[in-house]
Structure 1
Amino acid sequence: MLVLSSPSGAGKSTISRALLENDDRLSMSVSATTRKPRPGEVDGKDYFFMEPVDFNLLVNKGQLLEHAKVFDNYYGTPSKPVEDALSEGKDILFDIDWQGTQQLAQKAGDDLVSIFILPPSTKSLETRLKTRAQDSDEVVARRMSKASEEISHWAEYDYVVVNDDLERCIGEVKAILKAERVRRIRRTGLLQFVDALREGY
């Protein structure tokens, strides 16, 4: 399970898309949310858009790996699609905040790798939020006021990457994923392979 977190507008969605483009072993975790779709967003692909009563039902049934309230809306990760993808041998990419990451870390243990994406400056973060033109000035102001709190959790993550150059940043995240895949604890069957080598096979 690979988590990308960042303040809104720091580029994690763009980085996520770049990771998924040419990697058949990586699958995106689709979050459920009570917020309304933005232009171009597709239900079931970008998010599972649902009413608060249906979201609360998932919470009460224990069918979310993590959930949090962000900007008056609820977000959460349905557990079944993640478990299905993992059982197929896929790595799962999560685009979630620090609250969700903390909850996921309690359940996933060593199976979780977390990366925090930092913007190069506060000014650049505000510019990105305004130029993507998805939110009103009021929402942009709220996102900016929340950014400082989100950034304060950077030290809870395994890796921190500064998105001052998008291509370099994508390259660093890909390198982290590649290195984590070959860690000894993730190599299934390695013990049997080494035993066979030592026995001369």
Structure 2
Amino acid sequence: MKRGKLIVFAAPSGAGKTTIVRHLLGIPELNLEFSISAASREKRGAEVEGKDYYFLSVPQFKEKIRNKEFVEWEEVYPENYYGTLKTEVDRICNAGKNVIFDIDVVGGLRIKRKFPEETLTIFIKPPSINELIKRLKKRKTESEEKINMRVSKAAVEMATAPQFDVIIENDDLGKAKAEAERIVSEFISTENK
């Protein structure tokens, strides 16, 4: 059985990557399965354990780091860890499916470095920082302080965009979805070098 490919979507919070990833997951021909990340934060809203994230305590997360159980991990905010478990990637790839990631920019670039031939990295760029602020406030899931933290981090994340294989500007969601669909479809249909 052919091993699946890795498709990484990364972006500042509020850029629309999760919406685009969900759209792609609904296209059977792409043979995608979502890589569920591990996180050391509390659940938000209607998030579900084992569907949205594997929720771990900070001590559990640190133990998995020590045991080298992650493909990549990052302390995104103080005591707030996110990472991709090796078992998750192996489970999906070994089933012959393509893995789609919705992760932090640093984690996305780490995956590309570890698996350069099998990985496509896509950066979803918001039209502007002001638009990003509007989208984050519209969610109504975080405090003003958290939103400000995300916005200040966004400038750093935007600077990494040129390191990605593809940049899609999400100023029109329909166009961004169509572009992502075309790019992912082309990548999946090409053979590894």
Shift of 1:185: 2.5
2:149 is aligned with 1:138? no
Q: What is the aligned partner in structure 1 of residue 47 from structure 2?
A: 41
Superposed CA offset, 1:60-107 (max 9, x none): 111100000112200000111211210111000011122112221222
What is the CA–CA distance in structure 2 between the aligned matches of 1:62 and 1:180, rounded to whole Å?
A: 29
Q: Which residue of the other structure, out of 152, 155, 159, is the alignment partner of 1:148?
A: 155
1:168, distance to aligned residue in structure 2 (A): 0.7
Task: State yes or no: 1:57 paired with 2:63.
Answer: yes
1:127 aligns with 2:134: yes
63, 84, 92: which one aligns with 1:85: 92
Number of matched pairs: 186
After TM superposition, give the deviation of residue 30 of structure 1 in Å.
0.4
AA in 1 matched with 2:58: P
1:23, CA displacement in angstroms? 2.4
* Partner residue in 1 for 2:19: 14
The reply to whether residue 5 of structure 1 matches residue 18 of structure 2 is no
Query: In structure 1, what residue type is equivalent to 2:21?
Result: S
Per-residue deviation at 1:21? 1.5
Q: Return the match for 2:111 from 96, 104, 116.
A: 104
Cα distance in 1 between the residues matched to 2:191 and 2:33: 22
1:68 aligns with 74
The letter of the residue matching 1:37 is K
Gaps of 5+ in 2: 1-5
Q: Which has the larger radius of gyration?
A: 1
Give the equivalent residue in structure 2 for 1:157: 164
Tell me which amino acid in the other structure corresponds to 2:11: S
Instruction: Please give the alpha-carbon distance, in whole angstroms, between the structure 1 residues aligned to 2:119 and 2:135.
Output: 29
Amino acid at match of 2:138: T
With the length of structure 2 as denominator, give the TM-score of the two structures.
Answer: 0.93
User: What is the TM-score normalised by the length of structure 1?
Assistant: 0.90
Q: CA deviation at 1:121?
A: 1.3
Q: Percent identity?
A: 36
Q: Who is 2:3 aligned against?
A: none
| Greater relative CO, 1 or 2 (CA 8 Å, sep 6+) | 2
Letter in 2 for 1:84: R
Structure 1 runs (4+) greater than 2 angstroms displaced: none
